[in-house]
Structure 1
Amino acid sequence: MNRLASGPAIDVLVNKRGPVPEGASEYAREKMLAAVAHVGSPVLAIRAQLTQAANPSARRPATAQAMVDVNGFPVRAHCAADTMFEAVDLLQDRLAARLSGTRQRAGRAHRITADVRGPAGENGGHGHRPDRHRPPVAERRIVRHESFGLGRQTPEDAVIDLEAMDHAFWLFTDMTSGADCVVYRHGPGHRVASSGGDAQEWEAGPCLSVSPARAPECGVDEAVERMRLAGLAFVFFVDSATGRGCVLYQRHDGHYGLISPAP
Structure 2
Amino acid sequence: MKLLIHGRNLELTPALRDYTQSKLERAVQHYNDMVKEADVHLSVARNPRVPQQTAEVTVFANGTVIRAQERSENLYASIDLVANKLCRQLRRFKERHSDHHHSHGHRASETPPTDAVTSEAPIDGSLLDGKEAQLPEPGVRRKYFAMPPMRMEEARHQLDLIDHDFYLFRDAESGELQVIYRRNHGGYGVIQARD
Q: TM-score, normalised by structure 1?
A: 0.41
- Decide whether the 8 Å contact of 1:21 with 1:84 is kept in 2: no
Q: What's the CA shift for 1:92?
A: 1.2
Match of 2:35 in 1: 43
Q: What's the CA shift for 1:99?
A: 1.5
- Residues 173-218 of structure 1 show CA distances to partners (whole Å, capped at 9, x for unaligned) of 12534575xxxxxxxxxxxxxxxxxxxxxxxxxxxxxxxxxxxxxx
Amino acid across the alignment from 1:94: K
Task: Evaluate the alpha carbon distance shift between residue 246 and residue 88 of structure 1 in structure 2; reply closer, same or farther with a 3 A threshold.
Answer: same
Match of 2:26 in 1: 34
Q: What's the CA shift for 1:75?
A: 2.4
Is 1:124 aligned to 2:70, yes or no? Answer: no
Match of 2:49 in 1: 57
- Decide whether the 8 Å contact of 1:14 with 1:50 is kept in 2: yes
SS at match of 2:49: coil
Match of 1:173 in 2: 181
Q: Which 5+ residue runs of structure 1 have no aligned equivalent?
A: 1-9, 107-119, 127-145, 163-169, 181-243, 248-263
Q: What's the CA shift for 1:123?
A: 8.6
Which whole-Å CA distance do the structure 1 matches of 2:143 and 2:89 have between them? 28
Task: Evaluate the alpha carbon distance shift between residue 26 and residue 40 of structure 1 in structure 2; reply closer, same or farther with a 3 A threshold.
Answer: closer
Match of 2:156 in 1: 151
1:1-263 alignment to 2 at 5 Å?
Answer: 10-19=1-10, 22=13, 23-39=15-31, 41-58=33-50, 61-103=52-94, 121=137, 124=142, 148-149=151-152, 150-151=155-156, 157-158=163-164, 171-174=179-182, 176-177=184-185, 178=187, 244-246=190-192
Amino acid across the alignment from 2:181: T
Q: TM-score, normalised by structure 2?
A: 0.53
Which whole-Å CA distance do the structure 2 matches of 1:147 and 1:52 have between them? 37
Amino acid across the alignment from 1:174: R
Amino acid across the alignment from 1:91: V
Which whole-Å CA distance do the structure 2 matches of 1:44 and 1:179 have between them? 31
Task: Evaluate the alpha carbon distance shift between residue 80 and residue 148 of structure 1 in structure 2; reply closer, same or farther with a 3 A threshold.
Answer: same
Which whole-Å CA distance do the structure 2 matches of 1:175 and 1:41 have between them? 35
Supply the RMSD in Å over aligned alpha carbons: 4.1
Amino acid across the alignment from 1:98: Q
SS at match of 2:29: coil
Match of 2:174 in 1: none
Q: What's the CA shift for 1:85?
A: 0.6
Q: What is the aligned residue count? A: 138
Q: Which 5+ residue runs of structure 2 have no aligned equivalent?
A: 98-108, 110-135, 169-177
Q: What's the CA shift for 1:71?
A: 2.1
Amino acid across the alignment from 2:156: G
More strand by share: 1
Q: What's the CA shift for 1:67?
A: 1.7
Task: Evaluate the alpha carbon distance shift between residue 175 and residue 31 of structure 1 in structure 2; reply closer, same or farther with a 3 A threshold.
Answer: farther
